[in-house]
Chain A
């Protein structure tokens, strides 16, 4: 019996030793995304894109000879799950930095945990203000960085394009009733009204769950707006666009990055043609970084990359870049991230981070021939610079 216990003890020590020595060589980087559950398509895009980035980094010899070990977790779009993941990444996996490939819900609950542990996190596309801001202490989470736009910024940029370029004077808004929908539609409405457009109506629909947008759209149709600003993820977006077409609505539809998915094009079908969106991925960006990514993604996964994938890839590469400059100490990585300047990102040139918020132009894309194509860029500093608190 005693002998058995002794043998077991030796075995455990051996396993621990092997585990730790393996960890010693690699650089552990954490990653979480909603790989299953209601946002599984976005989770898959994020994971695929980051794995593509991982392969590029490790094939090129890793960071100063050390391979990056990506630790992947599935948060199932569940904040409770995300809290457990954050603690695991800190305690068990000893991650030096973390990439969020998830939505606002899971990302914002992990932010204070990583902030407290002093581990930098770069969020790919989560939009909620409280990702980078601690509302209880009223100060920024200075270990948290965001590669995607704040909802308000993206909404304001969409309004800028709607009023200045599309000459919309009468606008109706339909938005999902969640953090993202509220932030982006209030940003849109504020900027559009400032530029002199009239907001005819602002309707919120239940998210998740709403599928029948005809009652909302019938009401919009009566006002006969020049433009409809619609906020939703690809399922809702596809339904809105299709049902608007069925009801004979001819107003221009302007969406946001939630539309930016091959699933939107697939479900909406021909009704998607001509729909304009504000997003952060420009497919027609001539830089080799962008064109190679789009090509390699297509080759690896046999489908087109989307905004979520590109943003998560960027978040991962921003972190890797900082580790390359600063080494594996979390505090040094944070410092390198704070000093980011004119970084050449897949989703645009990042001039800097302001209180963790990215500063880069907003892309305007249009659906043409069943694909997202470039229509314009909003780079007015007044619009795209995040407000400091």
Chain B
């Protein structure tokens, strides 16, 4: 049973990682709390579901969901955040919260208030090794998250654009003086972060077999807690924090059987981290 709970925890933690990474990347480069990121995640789920209902292929719907989310993220950056960058950071935060609420209402009006089923199967089948049992959707989540993380790692460490992105996160002005197009880097940052949120939306849609207008409301604040836990802007820290939160939630419920609201785990962890390690799990003091 312990192995099974481990699989459950890592699977949900992986999805948290995909959502939180975009958030932490945006914070790292623009110092904006991008609350509407959870709206982009929901949008990804809806675009994926729509594509799936039209073509009936999971992989294509995943790509469409990611593409839809990436484009939406790009528009948010270009038309909402960039024009506000000269204002205090509270302005884009308010815009972000407003946009998130507007997106949720828009989903409800367009797609209806009902939960929609995202009944995608890819034909992987389940994986059983002894008492360790991974369901098909869990396998899918682990596989896709791993692939995306590998891509992100390679992109950030092996390409010039990735280098420029890391430089921007440290000091945009100096980076700009080296002839780097900072605006372009910010746009790429949003495209990648939003595509990951879109992938998370599609994966959760399939994992829970449910897509609904307010599916982003819990991730909206949980991702925030995870990002703080990982150290704002710290990418490996965020991945670690996501897995830790996913596992902690699962073990609190399934092993310790503490009647404890699941969504509180991330926040208790966040409070502890702020008290004892305000620079995050992997950050340096």
Nearest CB on A from B226, distance (A): 16
Quick check: B113 and A40 within 8 Å, CB to CB? yes
Quick check: B263 and A206 within 8 Å, CB to CB? yes
B113's nearest neighbour on chain A, judged by CB, is A40
- For the complex, give the distance between the alpha carbons of A219 and B5 in Å: 8
Quick check: B114 and A215 within 8 Å, CB to CB? no
B215's nearest neighbour on chain A, judged by CB, is A211
B207's nearest neighbour on chain A, judged by CB, is A212
| A267 at interface, CB cutoff 8 A | yes
**A interface footprint on B96-139 (CB within 8 Å = 1, 0 otherwise):** 00000000000010001111010100000010000001011100
Interface residues of B in 195-227 (CB under 8 A from A): 204, 207-210, 212, 214, 218
Residues of the A chain whose Cβ atoms lie less than 8 Å from the Cβ of B157:
none
| A248 at interface, CB cutoff 8 A | yes
Interface residues of A in 233-276 (CB under 8 A from B): 235, 238-239, 242, 246-248, 263, 266-267, 269
Quick check: B210 and A239 within 8 Å, CB to CB? yes
Interface residues of B in 126-169 (CB under 8 A from A): 126, 133, 135-137
Residues of the A chain whose Cβ atoms lie less than 8 Å from the Cβ of B254:
214-216, 218-219
Quick check: B262 and A206 within 8 Å, CB to CB? yes
Quick check: A222 and B1 within 8 Å, CB to CB? yes
| B182 at interface, CB cutoff 8 A | no
Quick check: A266 and B5 within 8 Å, CB to CB? no
Quick check: A269 and B135 within 8 Å, CB to CB? no
Residues of the B chain whose Cβ atoms lie less than 8 Å from the Cβ of A326:
none
Q: Chain A interface: which size bin?
A: 20 to 34
- Contact A239:B209 (CB < 8 A) given known A203-B257, A209-B263, A215-B5: yes
| A221 at interface, CB cutoff 8 A | yes
- Contact A218:B1 (CB < 8 A) given known A246-B137, A267-B210: yes
Residues of the A chain whose Cβ atoms lie less than 8 Å from the Cβ of B108:
36
B9's nearest neighbour on chain A, judged by CB, is A215
Nearest CB on B from A300, distance (A): 19
Interface residues of A in 130-178 (CB under 8 A from B): none
- Contact A238:B218 (CB < 8 A) given known A216-B254, A266-B117: no
| Candidate in B12, B136, B208 with the most chain A CB atoms within 10 angstroms | B208
| B42 at interface, CB cutoff 8 A | no
Interface residues of A in 177-213 (CB under 8 A from B): 201, 203-206, 209-212
Q: Tell me the count of chain B residues lying within 8 A, CB to CB, of chain A.
A: 38
- Contact A215:B117 (CB < 8 A) given known A204-B259, A210-B262, A239-B209: no
| B238 at interface, CB cutoff 8 A | no
- For the complex, give the distance between the alpha carbons of A37 and B114 in Å: 9
| A41 at interface, CB cutoff 8 A | yes
Quick check: B133 and A36 within 8 Å, CB to CB? no
- For the complex, give the distance between the alpha carbons of A215 and B257 in Å: 9
Interface residues of A in 26-46 (CB under 8 A from B): 36-38, 40-41
29 contacts between A and B (CB under 8 A): A38-B113, A40-B112, A40-B113, A201-B257, A203-B253, A203-B257, A206-B261, A206-B262, A206-B263, A211-B210, A212-B12, A214-B8, A216-B253, A218-B4, A218-B254, A219-B253, A219-B255, A219-B257, A235-B210, A238-B209, A239-B208, A239-B210, A242-B209, A246-B137, A247-B135, A263-B115, A267-B115, A267-B209, A269-B119
B residues apposed to A, CB below 8 Å:
1, 4-5, 8-9, 11-12, 108, 112-115, 117, 119, 126, 133, 135-137, 204, 207-210, 212, 214, 218, 249-251, 253-255, 257, 259, 261-263
A residues apposed to B, CB below 8 Å:
36-38, 40-41, 201, 203-206, 209-212, 214-216, 218-219, 221-222, 235, 238-239, 242, 246-248, 263, 266-267, 269
